[in-house]
Structure 1
Amino acid sequence: MSTALMPLAADPPEIDAAATAFVIICSSLVLLMTPALALFYGGMTRAKSVLNMMMMSFGAMGVIGVIYVLYGYSMSFGSSDLGGIIASPADNFGLDGVLGTADGGLPTIVFAGFQLTFAIITVALISGAIADRVKFGTWLVFSGLWVTLAYFPMAHMVWGGGLLSHSADGLAAKLFGTVEDAGEMVAAVAPVDFAGGTVVHINAGVAGLVLALIVGKRLGFGKTAMRPHNVPLVMLGAGLLWFGWFGFNAGSELAADETAGLVWVNTTAATCAAILGWLLVEKIRDGHATSIGAASGVVAGLVAITPACAALSPFGSIVLGAFAGAIAALAVGLKFRFGFDDSLDVVGVHLAAGLWGTIAIGLLATDGGLFYGGGVRLLVVQTVIALVAVLVSGVVTAVIGFALKYTLGWRITDDEETVGIDSAEHAESAYDLVSRGGRMGVTSTGALHDARHHDETSTPEGANA
């Protein structure tokens, strides 16, 4: 065949090597966050539940990692747009058509890998709300359904060109073909969610609340102390989360530039201030500042700064972080006031701090924030997208949660919960206390469990995150 008749090969995309290397490194940091979360959550549970708690994170990695490659990226960032809610899973099924393409010098496959890690950590965050008491198999099924029906649509709506990525006039034009219905108040103001306030933290926080209500309370909740069994593990997990979070936030710039540097500084400043805000509340309220409080303050600050990290000044980030720590420290007590068992305070930290961080952009953003002379337009927009995220996540999670409750079932048996979910679900124990002379009990099935859990007092549970 004559070469003159052969089709010409398309020129390969021009690749920005520095940006590519930067995003690959940041993707690895974000992936590390899920094992770090396993340590953080694992240390907060009782000794008889730590392996199951960690397995919920690792199980989410397995399920979401496969699903995202198959159709998650396509549903989030595919070329089609189905009503502004979702893209077609067929656009790039199995990442077909992704190799050999690039946007702004960044290979699409690298961006897809980066976004995969966000989907994983978002699902894993939910698990802390239902620690100690749910079937592992049901959790895995929920993970696949929730990421498909809640996370991918939210990612498309906010980051993939869907409904929530438009300014009010752009949204009106998309929905009605005119900007007249947008109104002058919020016209031309686009919502801000740099790295996942709505997509990740509000989304996961609401899901945690809904599941905690559907699944029900742990045995002895409010009567038996359920203290963290390994505080150093919690602090190690918090430190690794902080480290990985730089990939989460700075990596969302998709380039190693000045904005990424600003994001790094803002992330650090807000988190440091949040530690102090949480500890101050603890000192005033309880008379002492705790290690768990410091670790929880780290997470609260990181959550709050995530959507705002590129929109604020370093000073504004300190203000945001200090309030985030204080708000989350107060919010963790809501479960006792209202009687829902959010085991590790996903609601108190991720939902409360996520709402604050998203809405506070309307106050503190250097471009359009109320305190910088921008009026209330951005504040209104940020409040609206936060409420939309709450509504979407709440409805979708409720449908999935109730469907699984009446089919597969959520709860392990009371006897299994008493003995410990590690033994019941995984036939393992985290600590070989027999060889160390620990005081152990034996169940009728021969499974070992730590008898100390039957001696716990009725002291209220400490603050967890």
Structure 2
Amino acid sequence: MKNLSKITGLTAAALLAALPAFAQETAVAAEAAADVMDKGDVAWMMTSTVLVLFMTIPGLALFYGGLVRAKNMLSILMQTTVIAAMMMIIWVIYGYSFAFGGGTSPFWGGLGKLFLSGVSVDSMSATFSEGIVIPEFLFLAFQMTFAAITPALIIGAFAERIKFSAVLLFCALWGTLVYFPVAHMVWDGAGLIFNWGAIDFAGGTVVHINAGIAALVGCIVIGPRVGLGKDMMAPHSMTLTLVGTGMLWVGWFGFNVGSNLEANAGATLAMINTFIATAAAALAWSAIEAVARGKASMLGAASGIVAGLVAITPACGTVGPMGAIVLGVIASLICYFFVAVVKNKFGYDDSLDVFGIHGIGGITGAILVGILSDPSFGGTGLFVESGSIVDQVFVQIKAVAVTIVWSGVVSFILFKLVDMLIGLRVSTDEERQGLDQTSHGESAYHM
């Protein structure tokens, strides 16, 4: 009994000495056990990532391509394709780090994940639900498709007159100095706008206002197309534009619903809102066009669809279905006014109405989400601590203002820099002949 007592005493002493380390290991194990990766979430996010790529190629390419003249069709396809490919490479080299690198700056993510340092098949990324994670490679790839499509949106504003080399250089610089910082400010936990409590579920500020403002600056700096107001500049194929529109709408479910980061009930709210806000906007555009012009056009219906998609993007996860209908109608009417009235009034040649639809639609959605997300309007709730609609709208306006100023000022500098280095615009003869032949040596169509 004496020996047993001695052994027991030693064992107890050893256990007491080991308790701190054991407690730490237990805490780490508990934390690891709390993080759950669901294969359904992973499968949905992989699908969403591919859907956003589908929005760009071929969706956006065909939507824009059908709207230009036949002699510039291939140039639009080429610009969209190469911009997307270029941005994917830039994203994995340093873009992901600049946006989500783990830094504490409110304006950029730092260099912590340069060349994907520390990102592996074992690293995980958080979702909106505590303890639910997805592979970091998947989050990286999903965000990469956003980085690929956003600069490609800009090109519609100065289609048919910009050098291929100039548009690539501008987009590379713009992604670095505009898109990545704004993505960090809005979506990263350390970001300036994120910490204000601004609502931007899927990219009203990051994607649409950002691109729309750069588009407006670009079309003003580059100037109007040769023969504007004199030559026929009607879309060469509304059929292809509608095909592209349909692809955009389908792909947008990856854009919006995928931004939920999980396949759960929240994703279904984003899904129904993406359906009905878009449908309401298409009907509203067709209706106002029928009243104002006497006829509803296919171009108008397609424009309404895109306006609705743009406006619901920041709001799809927080507004109710009835609020989504209201948002779609309001955004469509405001975008129509800018496309049909404001553009003609001020005379800027936004060739494919990037600012009028993406910029204005994004601003409308980003501000109205501060009202329509309130539970009294059927929404899921506001993000500001006070829970006040006035406070939330003020935060939304601040977020919009920062995005407009950041994108506008930096984009203007970059356009001027590219013009100084290599020139922005093709010659008048090249523009009249068409960019398909002069920039790429081939044609979209052959007789």
Match of 1:80 in 2: 103
Provide the residue aligned with 2:154 in structure 1: 126
Alignment of 1:346 onto 2:367: no
- Residue 81 of structure 1 aligns to a residue whose secondary structure is coil
Quote the residue 1:96 is aligned against. Answer: 117
The reply to whether residue 34 of structure 1 matches residue 56 of structure 2 is yes
Distance 2:212 2:194 in 1: 21
Alpha-carbon displacement from aligned partner over 1:109-128 (angstroms, at most 9, x marks no partner): 10000000001111110010
Match of 1:180 in 2: none
2:205 is aligned, of 162, 180, 198, to 198
CA distance in 2, matches of 1:132, 1:221: 12
Amino acid at match of 2:47: I
The question of 1:163 aligning with 2:192 is answered: yes
Residue 404 (structure 1) aligned to one of 402, 409, 418: 418
Q: How does 1:213-252 map to 2 (within 5 A)?
A: 213-252=220-259
AA paired with 1:152? F
Question: Residues 287-336 of structure 1, C-alpha deviation per residue, up to 9 Å, x if partnerless?
Answer: 10011111111100000000000111100000000111111111112222
Q: Find the aligned partners of 2:234 and 2:258 in 1 and give their Cα distance.
A: 35
Contact 2:320–2:377, Cα closer than 8 Å, also in 1:
no
Q: Tell me how far 1:406 sits from its aligned partner.
A: 1.4
Cα RMSD (Å) of the superposition? Answer: 1.9
* Residue of structure 2 in register with 1:182 after alignment: none
User: Aligned equivalents of 2:107 and 2:285: distance in 1?
Assistant: 37
* Structure 2 residue matching 1:166: 3-state secondary structure: helix
Q: State the 1:381 CA deviation.
A: 1.1
Unaligned runs of 5+ in 2: 1-24, 127-131, 382-386
Q: Which amino acid aligns with 2:315?
A: A
- One-letter code of the match for 2:362? G
Aligned pair 1:365/2:381, yes or no? no
Distance 2:313 2:389 in 1: 23
**In the alignment, is the contact (CA less than 8 A) between 2:322 and 2:378 conserved in 1?**
no
Distance 1:14 1:412 in 2: 54
Aligned to 1:24: 46
Shift of residue 222 of structure 1?
2.2
Alignment of 1:180-329 (within 5 A): 190-329=197-336
Larger Cα-atom Rg? 2
Question: Counterparts of 1:345 and 1:92 in 2: how far apart (Å)?
Answer: 36
Higher helix share: 2
Deviations 1:180-207 (A, max 9, x none): xxxxxxxxxx110000000000000000
Q: Secondary structure at the match of 2:348?
A: coil
Q: Deviations over 1:49-89 (max 9, x none)?
A: 0110111110111210100010111110111133x10011x
User: Could you tell me the TM-score, scaled by structure 2's length?
Assistant: 0.87
Alpha-carbon shift at residue 429 of structure 1 (Å): 0.9
Please give the alpha-carbon distance, in whole angstroms, between the structure 1 residues aligned to 2:376 and 2:77: 42
Deviation at 1:374, TM superposition (A): 4.0
**What one-letter code is carried by the residue in structure 1 that aligns with 2:444?**
A
Task: Confirm whether residue 420 of structure 1 aligns to residue 442 of structure 2.
Answer: no
Q: Is the 8 A contact 1:212 1:342 kept in 2?
A: yes
How do residues 369-384 of structure 1 correspond to structure 2 at under 5 angstroms? Answer: 374-384=388-398
Shift of 1:369: 6.8
Q: Percent of aligned positions with the same letter in both sequences?
A: 45
3-state DSSP of counterpart to 1:91: coil
Structure 1 unmatched ranges of 5 or more: 1-7, 168-189, 434-465
Write the distance in 2 (CA, Å) between the matches of 1:79 and 1:379. 29
| Distance in 2 of aligned mates of 1:369 and 1:392 | 32
Q: Give the corresponding residue for 1:454.
A: none
SS at match of 1:376: helix
Q: 1:392 aligns with which of 403, 406, 414?
A: 406
Q: Match of 2:70, SS?
A: coil
Following superposition, the deviation at residue 18 of structure 1 comes to 1.2
- What TM-score does the superposition give when structure 1 sets the normalisation length? 0.84
- How far residue 249 of structure 1 moved from its aligned partner, in angstroms, is 0.3
Q: What is the one-letter code of the residue matched to 2:226? A: L
State the alpha-carbon separation in 1 of the partners of residues 214 and 429 from structure 2.
27
Amino acid at match of 1:150: V
Letter in 2 for 1:249: N
1:416-455 deviation digits (Å, cap 9, x = unpaired)? 111111110001111112xxxxxxxxxxxxxxxxxxxxxx
User: After superposition, what is the alpha-carbon deviation per residue over 1:157-189, rounded to whole angstroms, capped at 9, x for unaligned?
Assistant: 00012100013xxxxxxxxxxxxxxxxxxxxxx
**Residues 1:48 and 2:71 aligned together:** yes
Q: Secondary structure at the match of 1:412?
A: coil
* Count of residues in Structure 1 that have an aligned counterpart in Structure 2: 402
Using the alignment, how far apart are the partners of 1:46 and 1:58 within structure 2? 19
Match of 1:135 among 139, 147, 163: 163
CA distance in 1, matches of 2:324, 2:223: 37
Q: Deviations over 1:266-301 (max 9, x none)?
A: 110100000011111111111100111111111000
Deviations 1:331-375 (A, max 9, x none): 112222101111100011001111000000122113487999944
Deviation (angstroms), 1:96: 2.0
Letter in 2 for 1:224: D
